[in-house]
Amino acid sequence: MLPFINLIVADRNSKITIAKQVGNQIVKLIRDGVVVPGALLPATRVLADLIGVNRKTINKAYAELLNEEWIESVPRQGFRVKTNLPLIKPRSFHPQNKFEKTDLEQPPLTEHEEIPKLQKRRIADNELLINDGLPDYRLTPYQEMNREYRKHFNNTALNRAAYFLDQGGHPSLKTATATFLNGTRGLNAGENNIIITRGGQMAIYLAITLLVEKGETVVATEPNYIFADETFKNAGAVINRIAVDEEGMIIEEFEKILQSKPVKMLYLAPHHHHPTTVTMSSERRLRLLQLMSKFDFWVLEDDYDYDYHHSNRPILPLATSCHNGKIIYVGSYSKLLGPSVRLGFMVSSPKLIQRALQLKRLFDLKGDVFGEYVIAQMIMSGALDRHIQHVNKVYTSRCHLMSTQITTYLGDKVSFKIPQGGLALWVKFDHSFELKKLIKKAAENGLHLLGNVCHNKHSRHNNSIRLGFASLEEQEITQAISILSKLIT
């Protein structure tokens, strides 16, 4: 409840009756937008006690407000401000938004302005959604997580840890993450090399914000992960583009940029490029490491879905190689456990990790102590490994099914290659079907396509879209492709 004891003051020396004073002040609060339409007012006895007047006085004030149609009586609730206040007469009402006036300029629209629009759609529960390549929330290991929560809920040391400043993640999770990454990726990282973040995107933001200054040149692929681009723009960087083919980013184009100007950072996802899903070839990886040694630039390696392999032939990250500390490695537990589990990590030198921790504290003061401890226990007990093995089988099956369905029912109207791993397909539609119109028509038919889209006419990937299969069950995949088939035939 609002502090009416300070908002309404009875002046006993005024010639205006106290009942009228109370009514006038309530009207002013409504006009100023402090008390909003639909808000409940204090009971007459409560308000009388708050401002030190007789209850009959408040009754008179409310009766006058009722008569003037400012408030209404609600059975078993009391009095509330009318939701449909009159817009004419001297008592006309149009509350002023106190946050509208500002000297700041309207931020320019990004080149990816369609993404926020798509995310604002209202989607009925019975309609289908193909996302950018997220895991199925229905497969999140909630039972194992809840078991760990219950086991440690009364842990005094764990509860007290929540009172202290974030140390870059609970020590147990940093240690467990080092064990996990060293065992699956061969990083040879220690606890001091790791900071735990709220998802992989925070790790990307920390790395770019710490190292890239306004006006500096950075390099990214075309197409690229949209929110990495936006983070570079937020830092004021100048983005240079290089194309992507079946072997990943075209290294010769990158070399030409390096020879023409100093480059501060390269962002790439070599294991499963986002959005095209291609894996960078061994030859290009080796050449990239040679260029790092020669031209001295940072590499931000985004390995967002390393643990998903359909052929059981993972390629180790670039960060496993010798790189003189110039590769920053970021990843996410969210891709493993579920979209609502907001945990990621950044691996780098201890000095950079400490700088990242100082920046992180400015907008994320306390860590999720219990959540981090639970995931640490799952890693150390082997529960996370078992979960990865289980969902890998499920997602491999779904990948095969969507690929088969697309080939069977969309035929020569699309082209794609089955990726070595990951959670999505990158599908290019024939130019006789304008993808923007197709997305709109699909939504009208109950199928919402929210994956990364390439509309760049100068790109070989123009008219392509990322179709996430992992979050769809078999009948949902079949239904989705059926809708697309009807729309393009």
Q: What is the pLDDT at residue 91?
A: 47
Quick one: residue 169, left, alpha or beta (phi over 0 = left, psi -120 to 50 = alpha)?
left
**Would you state the structure tokens that stand for residue 135, as one six-digit string?**
């895991």
Q: Average pLDDT for residues 296-322, to the nearest whole number? A: 89
Give me the sign of the Cα torsion angle 212, 215, 220, 223. Answer: positive
Query: Checking DSSP bridges between strand 78-81 and strand 71-74, what pairing results, if any?
Result: antiparallel
Question: How far, in whole angstroms, is CA 35 from its chain's centroid?
Answer: 33
179 and 56 belong to one structural domain = no
Is residue 270 domain-shared with residue 323, that is, in the same domain? yes
The residues near 344 (Cβ < 8 Å, ≥ 6 apart) are 196, 197, 198, 199, 200, 201, 202, 203, 330, 331, 332, 333, 334
For residue range 122-153, what is the model confidence (pLDDT) as tens digits? 788 889 999 999 999 999 999 999 998 898 88
pLDDT of residue 382: 93
Preceding peptide of 116 cis, ω within 30° = no
Give the residue with greater pLDDT, 85 vs 219.
219
How many Cα atoms occupy the beta-carbon half-sphere of 472 within 13 Å? Answer: 29
- Strand, helix or coil for residue 126: coil
Which amino acid does the sequence have at 192?
Answer: N
Range of the domain at 10: 4-81
Report how far residue 183's alpha carbon sits from residue 329's, in angstroms, rounded to the nearest whole number.
15
> How far is the C-alpha of 141 from the C-alpha of 55, rounded, in Å?
57
Q: Which pLDDT score is estimated for 223? A: 95
Tokens 């149009």 map to which residue?
94
Question: Which CATH number do you get for residue 466?
Answer: 3.90.1150.10
d(CA 286, CA 90): 77
Q: What is the pLDDT of residues 12-70, one digit of tens each?
A: 888 899 999 999 999 988 888 888 888 899 999 999 999 999 999 999 999 999 999 89
The reply to whether 391 and 377 lie within a common domain is no
Give the domain CATH number at 34.
Answer: 1.10.10.10
Q: Maximum distance among all alpha carbons in the chain? A: 90
Can you give the pLDDT at residue 77? 87
How many domains does the structure of the chain reveal?
Answer: 3
CA dihedral 271, 274, 275, 276 (to 10 degrees): -30
pLDDT score, position 38:
87
3-state class of 325 per DSSP? coil
Is residue 162 located within the same domain as residue 285? yes
> Sorting pLDDT into bands at 50, 70 and 90, what band is 120?
low
Q: Does residue 419 sit in the same domain as residue 462?
A: yes
Q: Say whether both 254 and 129 belong to one domain.
A: no
Q: What number is the average pLDDT over the span 191-197?
A: 96
Q: Are residues 176 and 291 in the same domain?
A: yes
